[in-house]
Amino acid sequence: MVDSKLGIFGLLSDAGPVVLFVLSVLLSFSIVSWAIIAFKFNYVRQSLSESRAFLDYFFEIYNVDKAFAESENFRKGSLPRVFRSGYIEYRALGDKADLRQVRARIARAIKREANAESKRLSSLVPFLATVGNTAPFIGLFGTVWGIMTSFHNIGTTQSASLAAVAPGISEALVATAAGLAAAIPAVMAYNFFTHQIGIIERDLEEFSPEFVAAFINEP
Amino acid sequence: MEKGQKLIYTEKKFSLWLAAAAVMHALVIFLAIYLQSIDARRQAKPKIVSVSLVSLPGVAGSHEFSEKKAGGEAHPATSPEAPHPVVNKKSVDLKKALPEVAPVTPKKEKKPVKVKEVVPKAAKVTPKKIAIEPLPAKVKPKAIEKPADISKALERIKQNVDKKTAASPPQSAGNLNDALARLQQKVKAQGTPASSGSGSGQGGSTGARSGAGKGYGGGTSAPYKAEIASIIMQNWEFSKLLLKNSYGMEVYVRINISTNGTITKIIFDKRAPSEYLNNSVKRALEKSSPLPVLPKEEGAKDAWIGFVFTPEGIEK
């Protein structure tokens, strides 16, 4: 009876400009979200696995020179990066400064690198939170606008039959569905990344003093 | 320098993922469209065509068939030379012949359209005019007979009918002639609005009970309207159960009939709020085409005829 060639997509061909704009915004949100998800997933996974491997190696040999040489193989890990920055500062000081000054400068260098690493890890992640929070509302806006238009059309045609009402509402609801489709993966990914980044940051906090001690007490 | 290079590398990597995400979205959308189109193709025709729920009620159909009979009797009044009266007489003969055959093949009785196709054969069997007699009482017990005996039974019934028609020809012929004369008078008395083309066409309903009672924009003779109305009603398929609200359910429609009886145009002057009703009207009209040839009095022109449809069919 109903000639619906392409179902929902067929409905969208009759959608108003506001609904189309909302849908295009949601589509771009979704594209960027998925790009961030894929990018961050790789980044965090590599950082976590290389940090663990480097820590194992570090506590196994407890030799800063060998550890530095090995850290070249873990360039994507957060802990190896922090260690490398501390080691470079340590070697730059040489034997000129006294012990307190050396400890303070190494600690400062390690902290700076840990901060930078923390920023790198959490960059782009807030966008996922933004999408997760706003996409359903943007979709809802599109739906409300579509239903407004639909009711206006009902008034114009002076017909309240299901055939006159249903397509407009169905078309409007697509915006809410698109908002949810963009928001759900973004929220899930945000929670996952927040948890993983939290683990790495705790590792950085815990092992930074260990690295400083290792440089000072170098055998 | 090293940090700057790292930043550029990171940006490049991210833009790569961005492109991948865009491609992925495009693929998902394309797949969704493709799957929906496949799904639509799969579900395209099968059960919508064979829905018999709409046509099941059937009460209207049988009613219309009887009405058509009434309309058929009215024909000779207006156009005795036209082929229709002969056809209708033959259909009466067939009616008479059918009760015996019906128990063997009951399906044949269901569709009035099929009756028309069979008519010529029946005409060959009984070419004479016959008054309808209460035969079924005699026929019922014979219905149990085997197919081999059917021809014998038919012969017997023919003989009976011949006797009866021979016994009372003046009365039946007189009745028929009286009815024809009355109809002719009525048509002549009300025949003028047909040529004006603007009247409400009430005259149609007197000539034939099923006629296009509220037909407007006429111009054709009332019996012809009645005939096509009954044909359209035979093809009328609509279930009122599917309507939630019957308020304002009227469709004003005009059809253009060419000289050979084909419906060339269907114009909706007023549509009903229900698309189902509108579609039913359109379907019934399309199914009814071609209609009987326009009467000769119409000349060589095509004709416009209007109808008002309600959920019950053509409004009387």
* pLDDT per 10-residue tile (average), chain A, 219 residues: 54 79 94 94 92 88 84 87 89 75 87 92 93 95 89 77 76 90 96 94 88 76
- Nearest Cα residue in chain A from B51: A1
B24: which chain A residues are within 8 Å (Cβ-Cβ)? 34
pLDDT band of B300, cuts 50, 70, 90: low
Specify the pLDDT at position B123: 39
What are the DSSP E strand ranges found in chain A?
none
| CB–CB contact B25 A30 (8 Å) | yes
Question: pLDDT averaged over chain B?
Answer: 65
List the single residue in A6, A33, A124 with the smallest CB-CB distance to B36.
A6
Q: What is the predicted pLDDT for the residue at B77?
A: 38
**Sequential DSSP letters for A71-118:** HTT-TT-HHHHHHHHHHHHHHHHTTSS-HHHHHHHHHHHHHHHHHHHH
pLDDT of residue B50: 61
Residue with tokens 């320098």: B1
**B9 vs A: CB within 8 A:** no
Does residue B306 contact residue B215 with C-beta atoms inside 8 Å?
A: yes
pLDDT at B155: 83
Of B13, B274, B279, the CB nearest to A161: B274
Q: In this predicted structure, what is the pLDDT of residue B273? A: 81
Three-class secondary structure of residue B284 per DSSP:
helix
Average pLDDT value for residue range B94-111:
42
B21 vs A contacts (CB less than 8 Å): 31-35, 38
Higher pLDDT, A32 or B2: A32
Whether B274 and A163 lie within 8 Å, measured CB to CB: yes
Give the pLDDT score at B99. Answer: 43
Domain ranges of chain B: 2-39, 59-314
Chain B residues within an 8 Å CB radius of A41: none
Does pLDDT of B79 surpass 60? no
Name residues whose C-beta falls within 8 Å of residue A54's C-beta, 6 or more positions apart in sequence: A67, A70, A71, A74, A77, A79, A80, A83
For residue A124, the chain B residues in CB contact (below 8 A) are: 14
**Domain boundaries of chain A, sorted by first residue:** 7-216
CA neighbor of A19 nearest in space, from A173, A182, A186? A173
Q: Worst-scoring range by mean pLDDT, A171-185, B99-113, B232-246, B257-271?
A: B99-113
Write the CA distances from A74 to A71, A112, A193, B43, integer angstroms: 5, 19, 21, 57
CA-closest candidate to residue A110, choices A71, A64, A79: A79
Give yes or no for residue B107 having a pLDDT over 60.
no
Instruction: Please report the pLDDT score of residue A142 as a whole number.
Output: 92
Distance CA A162, CA A20 (A): 23
- H/E segment holding residue B266: strand B263-270
Mind listing the pLDDT tens digit for each residue in B117-175?
A: 444 444 344 444 444 444 444 444 444 445 556 778 888 888 887 776 665 544 555 56
Distance from CA of B250 to the nearest CA of A (A): 14
User: How far is B308 from chain A, CA to nearest CA, in Å?
Assistant: 20
CB contact under 8 A, B273 and A6: no
Q: What type of residue sits at position B101?
A: V
Using the Cβ of B43 and the Cβ atoms of chain A, whether some distance falls under 8 Å is answered with: no
Chain A residues close to B33, C-beta within 8 Å? 6, 9
B17 touches chain A (CB under 8 A): yes
The pLDDT score that the predictor gives to residue B54 is: 57
Angle between helices A17-61 and A125-157 (to 10 degrees): 160
Q: How far is B314 from chain A (nearest CA, A)?
A: 23
| Residue B83 to residue B116: CA distance in whole angstroms | 13
Is the CB of B14 less than 8 angstroms away from the CB of A35?
yes
CB contact under 8 Å between B37 and A6, yes or no, is: yes
- On chain B, the residues whose CB falls within 8 A of the CB of A35 are 14, 17-18, 20-22
B26 to chain A, closest Cα gap in Å: 10
For residue A14, what are the contacts with CB-CB under 8 A and spacing of at least 6? A167, A171
How far is Cα of residue B202 from the mean position of the Cα atoms in its chain? 21
Does the pLDDT value for residue B213 go beyond 90? no
d(CA B289, CA B305): 14
Beta-carbon separation of A4 and B21 below 8 A: no
pTM over 0.80: no
